[in-house]
Amino acid sequence: MKQILYIMVFVVSSFGLSTDLWGQRPCADTLVRVYDSVCEGETYHFNGRDLIRSGYYYDTLPRAVGDCDSVIILLLSVLEPPFSLPGSKVFCEPPAGHRIIVYDDGSGMYYRWSSTPFDSSLIGQEHLSDIYVSPKEPTTYDVYIDYREVPQCPNTGSIQLNPVEPVVAQMYVSPDHLSYDHLELSVEDYSIGTRGTHYGGWAGRKWFLNGVLQNDPWPRTTFAINPSLEGDSVEVRMVAFSPTCSDEVVKVVPFRRVALYFPNAFTPGVEPNPFFQPQVQGILEYELWVYDRRGTLVFHSQEQTPWDGTHKGVPCPMGVYVYKCRYRDLETPAGFQDLAGTVTLLR
């Protein structure tokens, strides 16, 4: 009987059968992949190690029974703060307001906006990244932001905004043209939104003549014009501004280099006005008539000759005389223009 048992053992060995028939077959290690994240500045504890940087990390957990181990692969992401402080951009065109911009990485953050005091223009935008608001008074806007609605790496920020104050620039400029006998410009600010102090800012205007800033900031003022410096016209530009917005308006005032100016009184033979004669600039020709109070013609000239206060060699009495002038100038060389007025003769 013992001999037969030996033969069976030999036969099993001869066919190459291993002892696995009597025990457990060897197995492969088990891989476990883990994806996790931690907020910047926090520590991630991984099987006895403290991790603070993003990356791949490995660890092996030996089995208590058997030859197979568990290999853990950790992909760790360290999350930066989800945003920087919000900024704003002003829009002065109707409907005027502020666009508040949160500078994030565009990865679909979760937002929650609120305001103090409550701003109804925020309704419907509470969970948007960029919002457009129109505060009616100084208002603080607070935003809560995170990578997901469930708190993970929450952050908050705030910005205080004043109401947007649009400006419509308007001005009055007089006269419509300049000449040698009128070298002043009167200007006045009729703008909307440039008067008074609002929410800690200053509203006002700046005046420019041919691009040169003037030192006079008042809403109503007068500027003296130098024709030798300004050229053929003067560009008046006013920039009107409020604490949040600005606007400008421009008017070009032409300079007429033609002048025909009559004195309103003279004293024959006595300086500084010994004769009655116009001051002219750019006048090609003129004809002058002078009448007394009865309508009698006492003087007439086509040669630009001054009146010496006499009629047919006899001195005229003191009093008010009427003159009429017909002239042709450089700006209208093909036609004549008429001018009339009064002059007082003094003795």
pLDDT at residue 2 tops 50:
no
CATH no. for 171-256: 2.60.40
Q: Convert the pLDDT of each residue in 216-267 to its tens digit.
A: 989 999 999 887 766 788 999 999 999 889 999 999 999 877 778 899 999 9
CA dihedral 326, 331, 334, 339 (to 10 degrees): -10
pLDDT at 283: 87
Amino acid at site 283: I
Tell me which of 68-77, 117-126, 192-201, 254-263 is least confident: 192-201
Alpha carbon distance 99, 132 (integer Å) = 4
Contact 169, 240 (CB under 8 A): yes
pLDDT exceeds 60 at position 5: no
Of 52 and 21, the structure prediction assigns the larger pLDDT to: 52
Q: What is the pLDDT of residue 332?
A: 77
Asked whether residue 18 carries a pLDDT value surpassing 70, the answer given is: no
Q: Three-state SS string across 107-120, please?
A: CCCEEEEEEECCCH
Task: Identify the weakest region by mean pLDDT among 169-178, 276-285, 302-311.
Answer: 276-285
Highest-pLDDT range among 101-110, 278-287, 308-317: 308-317
Does the pLDDT of residue 270 top 90, yes or no? yes
pLDDT at 279 (0 to 100): 86
Architecture of domain 259-345: Sandwich (2.60)
250 in Cβ contact with 173 (< 8 Å): no
* pLDDT, position 47: 84
Percentage of the chain surpassing pLDDT 90? 55
Mean pLDDT, to the nearest integer, of 3-13? 32
Burial of residue 185 (number of CB atoms within 10 Å: 0-12, 13-18, 19+) = buried
Residue 153 CA to residue 151 CA, distance in Å, equals 6
Split at pLDDT 50, 70, 90, the class of 197 is low
Please tell me the distance from the alpha carbon of residue 121 to that of residue 44, in angstroms, as a whole number.
Answer: 42
Q: Where are the alpha helices (DSSP H) in 154-287?
A: 227-230
Q: What tokens were used for 32?
A: 């476990």
